[in-house]
Amino acid sequence: MRLLVTGGAGYIGSHTCKALAASGHLPITYDNLVYGHPWAVRWGPLEIGDLADRQRLDQVIQHYRPEGVIHFAAYAYVGESVKDPGKYYRNNVAGSLSLLEAMRDHGIPYIVFSSTCATYGVPERIPIPESHPQRPINPYGQSKLMVEQILQDFQVAHGIRSISLRYFNAAGADPDGEIGEAHDPETHLIPLVLEVAGGQRPHITVFGDDYDTPDGTCIRDYIHVTDLAQAHVLAIEALASGRPVPAAYNLGNGQGFSVKEVIATAAAVTGKRIPVQMGARRPGDPPRLVGDAGAIFRDLNWKPLYTDLAEIIQTAWRWHQKRPYFGKSRPPLS
């Protein structure tokens, strides 16, 4: 299939493009490069453009005639979404609406949407199933939930079938070392810890050690980015096959690791000392976020290959060591 991959120059998008190409598909990356990287687009063409630019979007669709869409393009900084919600609703919601209207007008019949566990808000039970109430506590999560609803409305009105994939914590890097995680600013725990191990940061700040967890720090469900990518391939192929599928799936390992466990594991993997500084709790951080991904296991025969935390961190460390800033003070990551 020819597949339009919005945000395909980003972290998860680029890994998914590699997985699509390995499965015989042609990924066509459409990215405005605000956060994406041209060097990450290696398995298909790169078309630079914004979802809000309908003329440019139409031009790319008319040229390639994609048969489906995988939609990653979104802003994803929770704190920023609280400070500037308009930016998130304009980009994440209005941008997605522009994309869906283009799909409607060009007759593209299906889409896989990059959603998030942030749509659940503070969990009532662990592990979190897809049936859990969706009550996001920040504009980022709310913007993703809005798009999930728009997708359902477009299926009813226009027959565009969709699957929303609700991620937990994406982690790791391409096992072949070709691409990896490179955000600027970086906010994810594992790359931040590895930057401390690599000498780019003096310490890692732990936000709260008095949670109701075994060691007092927050517990999260880490899933390797390559496993996430494979789930997108299976989801788009399921839609293309025409078989009935649910509107949404969780993507997680079903097990959680605390902040302190991540730091200790990273120290063991790297052989480096990782200084820790304690900080205050961040507002809205739930003590535990662990997903129940049983539905996609059963329906699409998806199973994570990387379930060991040390193995996940090892792939990220190999990538981190290849970066040009390794062993130096922290520069921009472009």
Of the candidates 25, 272, 283, 309, which has an alpha carbon nearest to the alpha carbon of residue 137?
283
Mean pLDDT of 281-300: 91
Of the candidates 283, 253, 249, 292, which has an alpha carbon nearest to the alpha carbon of residue 124?
292
Catalytic hit among 11, 35, 120, 140: 140
- Confidence bin at 329 (pLDDT 50/70/90): low
- Confidence bin at 326 (pLDDT 50/70/90): low
Q: Is 140 a catalytic residue?
A: yes
- Confidence bin at 186 (pLDDT 50/70/90): confident
Of the candidates 100, 87, 98, which has an alpha carbon nearest to the alpha carbon of residue 140?
87
Using a 10 angstrom Cβ sphere, with 0-12 exposed, 13-18 middle and 19 or more buried, the burial of residue 133 is: exposed
**pLDDT (0 to 100) of residue 331:** 47
- Residues 51, 97: contact at Cβ < 8 Å? no
Mean pLDDT of 32-51: 97
**pLDDT (0 to 100) of residue 334:** 34
**Helical ranges in 107-159 per DSSP H:** 139-158
- pLDDT over 80 (residue 325): no
What's the pTM value of the predicted model, to 2 decimals?
0.95
- pLDDT over 50 (residue 108): yes
Domain-located, residue 241: yes
**pLDDT (0 to 100) of residue 68:** 98
3-state helix, strand, coil in the chain (%, to 5): 40, 15, 40
CATH assignment at residue 150: 3.40.50.720
- Confidence bin at 333 (pLDDT 50/70/90): very low
Task: Report the chain's mean pLDDT, rounded to a whole number.
Answer: 95
Domain that holds residue 93: 2-171+223-251
- Confidence bin at 184 (pLDDT 50/70/90): confident
Domain-located, residue 312: no
Of the candidates 4, 30, 18, which has an alpha carbon nearest to the alpha carbon of residue 179?
18
**pLDDT (0 to 100) of residue 86:** 98
**pLDDT (0 to 100) of residue 273:** 96
Domain-located, residue 240: yes
Beta bridge partners of 4: 28, 69
* Segment 263-273, tens digit of pLDDT: 999 999 999 99
- Confidence bin at 183 (pLDDT 50/70/90): confident
Number of folded domains in the chain? 1
- What whole-number distance in Å separates Cα of residue 255 and Cα of residue 66? 37
**pLDDT (0 to 100) of residue 54:** 97
Q: Tell me the percentage of the chain whose pLDDT exceeds 90.
A: 91
Mean pLDDT of 69-91: 95
- Residues 226, 14: contact at Cβ < 8 Å? no
Provide the residue count of the chain.
Answer: 334
Domain-located, residue 9: yes
Domain-located, residue 299: no
Domain-located, residue 296: no
* Segment 132-173, tens digit of pLDDT: 999 999 999 999 999 999 999 999 999 999 999 999 999 999
27, two tokens:
């990924």
Q: Tell me the percentage of the chain whose pLDDT exceeds 70.
A: 97
Amino acid at 173: A
Domain-located, residue 131: yes
- pLDDT over 60 (residue 205): yes
Domain-located, residue 89: yes
